Chain A
């Protein structure tokens, strides 16, 4: 009895190829059961996310299992040929699944979304009765491994994107963001992403000021905020807690001398300035002002990179943990297969006796 895994991922295939093989969530359970009934295969789970499409199955022999998978997929117009596809069998397949659910195979190392996606895929396959003893055990063990890796290592630690770093810093300054007002200067893509991340954490309101007022209105509508005339952004500044600078101005839009009198009117409320523009929008000198915390794109990226470095440093610990679980799973699998071999002849004998008696 062998476990096989056939698939492609962001590491081996570009998005154009991945999207050709992507399987809608609603189809995953159905396809799993179709594959599980193919001759040469016994159980199956189909995992399809934006970064990977993987077919897990149980087969008597790995090579025959891969062949069966290949033909079944080809029949369905998804011929898995070419270098983009990888094949894993036996312990390698188990290790691969464990690495996937732990986020070690993800585009962003240690991300946790994949665990939920694999759980959903397994849930769909289980519901469609495409799984049984071996894959049930394998996936449940995989979820336990993911939990252990998350709690015992730093693989999910810290924020690894500019938006999430900005949100974390804002929370470190203000606590809950539900009382915070955000102002965006310049309707750029980065500022929209960052403001979106802040909005997801429940900020009270978002003001958008842009040289082209139409763009400000468009972005404000998209963000559920309020557009402000660029020449008049100072007017709304008193209530602002988080300022995102993202204009294409060749000079500083906000200087220390401009900010100092504005800060005096804020009753010592802190101000978090996020400067995403290059050239920068906010004079670095404003960081000297009491209660002003300025982070430019480099400092945000440095924090994100620092977190990523910590995660990379945890890889060795994660691998060791995964290796232990792969060994334990192998021990269980060997014992389970041996037990089923012992019981098979008995069942066969009983069946033949029953047939003789005409039962």
Chain B
């Protein structure tokens, strides 16, 4: 198997883009701007394109979807969050909610960059498209859940201010509770749909035979299934949904880490 090393400069540049986005968002928040500026969106797009370039090069070198290590998973997760941030819609993107997205992506990429980049072990076998789809779609689903968690956390902060009647200066700069609840719900549904698609793709290729991963995958799917069920039947309020979205994402992060630990 041929070994190769890989240049990380596009990844570093992308990380810096998200740092700039974070700084711009904070500046906009301080200046009490109504939404993200076009500069912020262009810089986000630049960061996303640099991520895409790096992931594409990585994929070509590996000969499969770049999800072979924790490093790759973190970068792919960051890419998913940025992708969803850009496509989720104006309510989410144009608001200063993006102030939380850029630091999340920045943090995930910094964590990845702090890890040693595993040498490329070229996959000489032809890649199984179903398995690739399974892995990629699952990580994009995790990105949707991350954004749902962010929307949920913002809703909880806004709700608390409204309930206690202690309105911070940034209160009026964030999206309305009603829109946050809608974004939260929508992202949970999108994430669940993607996760299900990924799981089906994996099951069709016998991925479910892997013991611990199977338990984790089904556990997370079950968690979000009940969340979607409760949402569909209108059994839970937006506040409860927000709490559950935050909690479920924390569980999800823990399991990603646990899976890596078990695999080692």
Contacts and interface: CB of A to CB of B under 8 A. Distances in A.
Interface of A: 157, 168-169, 171-175, 267-268, 270, 287, 290-291, 293, 295, 299, 302-303, 306
Given A157-B32, A267-B234, A268-B238, A293 B158 contact: no
B172 interface: yes
Contacts of B176: 171-175
Contacts of B167: 303, 306
A302 B165 contact: yes
Contacts of B238: 268, 270, 291
B89 to A, nearest CB: 13
5 contacts: A168-B172, A270-B238, A290-B240, A291-B237, A303-B167
B162 A169 contact: yes
Nearest to A170: B176
B178 interface: yes
B179 A175 contact: yes
Nearest to A310: B169
A174 B237 CA distance: 15
A306 B167 CA distance: 10
B239 interface: yes
A268 B234 contact: yes
Contacts of A287: 163
A168 B178 CA distance: 14
A293 B165 CA distance: 9
Contact of A174 (B158, B163, B178, B236): B178
A147 to B, nearest CB: 15
Q: Which 8 A-B pairs have the closest CB atoms?
A: A175-B176, A290-B237, A268-B237, A299-B165, A293-B162, A174-B178, A173-B177, A175-B179
Interface in B148-198: 158, 162-163, 165, 167, 171-172, 175-179
B242 to A, nearest CB: 11
Contacts of A303: 165, 167
Interface string B203-246: 00000000000000000000000000000001011111000000
A106 B221 CA distance: 60
Contacts of A295: 165
Nearest to A287: B163
A173 B234 contact: no
